């Protein structure tokens, strides 16, 4: 029993010792906080420490000279109105403005190729010639039949005028004339299709036939692409539908051209919403005057929804989280003043301030961790502030 009682006493003494040590550490921490920052929130009745009172009195120096003494060195920025844009990011693909695969409408043997692979061609330029020997013979036969039918019709017309011909013979001659004329037009049309021309100006791809090949109707010959301008197809979520407009600007970045940005303009919005992805398809035009870009490239698209020209912005590092709110420290008469703000758009490391600051206000961007309301501050250049810290 004596040994058990002695063990219990030792445990109680150890617990008391731990409590005393914890209390001493809490007192030391509270004293350090009081000395550096003033009374803690749970002891508001304590007086301010000498360090805080000195900081509140402002920078020390003869005759109000250069900042020194207990003033805290901080980096600042002056709030000024400027432009800020609301943007969306998306991914898309580049497509030809016009694209077609050249195919013959009639079969035949290739006798001439009128383009160089990968080179531009003009509208109406001959791309391919098929053998026309058979078709020329068909045209000649159709022309002979047409001439005979025409002569026969003239004879029947003369007989009818003299009153010696019959109406039936005349009607038959008119029908034969019409049939011969149609046969001639058909033969000529078939022969014209043996010459394949470019439907629009563009750049041809790689050909799939050679001189001497026999091609069937609809066989692929070569692709023709119009690449200036290019189209950019991309999708955005349906929730932004009300903000989409024809004429909005896009900026495109491509993996093939790192560091470069290409500017285009939205010209069409698909009226059909994709049911699977709940997204809207947009199409923009992208100038390509030097033909550097190519259809099929993967594109990262930034769509400019709207732009404010007189927005008040501060660097993001000026914001200090305070519970569910955001505050900034303004410099007023050489002292820090905490101010709750309402934020808006964020862009390129800057955040729009909707409420809480005005143009011309000086806001602290570095050194806020040491500040409280009324702390004397000395704005310095970033390099000086870095050296001071």
Distance from chain centroid for Cα 285:
12
What is this structure's pTM?
Answer: 0.61
Q: Please write the tens of the pLDDT for every residue from 7-24.
A: 666 777 777 877 788 777
For the segment(s) 132-193, the CATH number from 1.10.1060, 3.30.43, 1.10.287, 3.40.50 is 1.10.287
What tens-digit pLDDT sequence spans the chain (389 residues)?
455 666 666 777 777 877 788 777 777 766 666 555 556 655 555 665 555 555 455 444 433 334 445 678 888 888 888 887 778 889 999 999 999 999 999 999 999 999 999 999 999 999 999 999 888 888 899 889 889 888 888 888 888 787 777 788 888 888 988 898 898 999 899 899 999 999 999 999 999 999 999 999 999 999 999 999 999 999 999 999 988 999 999 999 999 999 999 999 999 999 999 988 899 999 999 999 988 999 999 999 999 887 777 888 888 888 888 778 888 888 888 888 888 888 877 777 888 788 888 888 888 888 777 778 888 888 876 654 444 44
For residues 131 and 111, the answer to whether their CB atoms sit within 8 Å is yes
For the segment(s) 105-128+197-220, the CATH number from 3.50.50.60, 2.40.50.100, 1.10.10.60, 3.30.70.60 is 2.40.50.100
Beta-carbon contacts of 70 under 8 Å, excluding residues fewer than 6 positions away, are 51, 54, 55, 57, 59, 60, 376
Model pLDDT, residue 358: 83
Strands (E) across the chain are located at: 72-78, 81-102, 108-113, 120-121, 126-130, 195-197, 202-204, 214-215, 222-237, 249-254, 257-269, 279-286, 298-315, 320-322, 325-332, 335-347, 350-355, 362-366, 377-379
Q: What is the CATH number of domain 58-79+319-388?
A: 2.40.420.20
CA angle 361, 365, 370 (to 5 degrees): 110
Is the sign of the CA dihedral 310, 315, 316, 320 positive or negative? negative
For the segment(s) 88-97+223-307, the CATH number from 2.40.30.170, 2.40.10.340, 2.60.40.420, 3.40.120.10 is 2.40.30.170
Q: Please write the tens of the pLDDT for every residue from 346-380.
A: 777 888 788 888 888 888 888 777 778 888 888 87
Closest among 297, 120, 125, 288 to 204, alpha carbons compared: 120
Q: Where are the domains of the chain?
A: 2-47, 58-79+319-388, 88-97+223-307, 105-128+197-220, 132-193
Q: What is the CA radius of gyration of the chain?
A: 43
Give the C-alpha distances (Å, rounded to integers) separating 57 from 51, 52, 69. Answer: 10, 9, 10
């Amino acid at each position: 029993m004596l040994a058990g009682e002695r063990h219990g006493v030792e445990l109680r003494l150890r617990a008391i010792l731990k409590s005393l040590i914890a209390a001493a550490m809490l007192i030391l921490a509270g004293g350090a906080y009081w000395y550096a920052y003033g009374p803690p929130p749970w002891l508001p009745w304590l007086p301010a420490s000498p360090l805080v009172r000195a900081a509140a009195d402002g920078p020390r120096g003869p005759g109000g000279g250069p900042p020194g003494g207990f003033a805290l060195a901080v980096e600042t920025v002056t709030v000024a109105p400027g432009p800020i844009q609301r943007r969306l990011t998306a991914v898309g693909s580049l497509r030809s403005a016009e694209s077609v695969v050249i195919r013959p409408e009639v079969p035949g043997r290739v006798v001439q190729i009128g383009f160089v692979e990968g080179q531009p061609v003009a509208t109406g330029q001959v791309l391919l010639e098929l053998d026309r020997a058979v078709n020329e013979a068909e045209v000649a036969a159709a022309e002979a039949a047409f001439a005979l039918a025409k002569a026969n019709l003239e004879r029947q017309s003369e007989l009818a005028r003299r009153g010696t011909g019959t109406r039936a013979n005349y009607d038959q001659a008119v029908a034969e004339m019409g049939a011969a004329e149609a046969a001639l037009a058909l033969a000529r049309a078939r022969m014209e299709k043996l010459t394949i021309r470019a439907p629009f100006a563009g750049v041809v791809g790689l050909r799939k036939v050679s001189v001497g090949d026999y091609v069937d109707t609809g066989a692929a010959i070569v692709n023709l692409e119009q690449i200036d301008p290019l189209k950019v197809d991309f999708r955005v979520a349906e929730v932004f539908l009300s903000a989409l407009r024809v004429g909005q600007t896009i900026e495109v970045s491509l993996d093939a051209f790192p560091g470069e940005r290409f500017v285009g303009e939205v010209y069409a919005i698909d009226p059909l919403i994709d049911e699977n992805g709940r997204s809207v398809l947009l199409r923009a035009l992208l100038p390509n005057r030097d033909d550097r870009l190519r259809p099929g490239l993967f594109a990262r698209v930034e769509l400019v929804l709207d732009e404010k020209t007189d927005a008040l912005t501060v660097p993001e590092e000026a914001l200090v989280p305070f519970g569910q709110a955001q505050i900034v420290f303004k410099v007023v008469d050489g002292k820090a003043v905490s101010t709750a703000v309402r934020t808006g758009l964020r862009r390129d490391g800057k955040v729009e301030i909707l409420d809480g600051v005005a143009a011309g206000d000086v806001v602290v961007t570095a050194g806020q961790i040491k500040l409280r309301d009324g702390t004397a501050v000395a704005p310095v250049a970033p390099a000086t502030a870095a050296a001071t810290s």
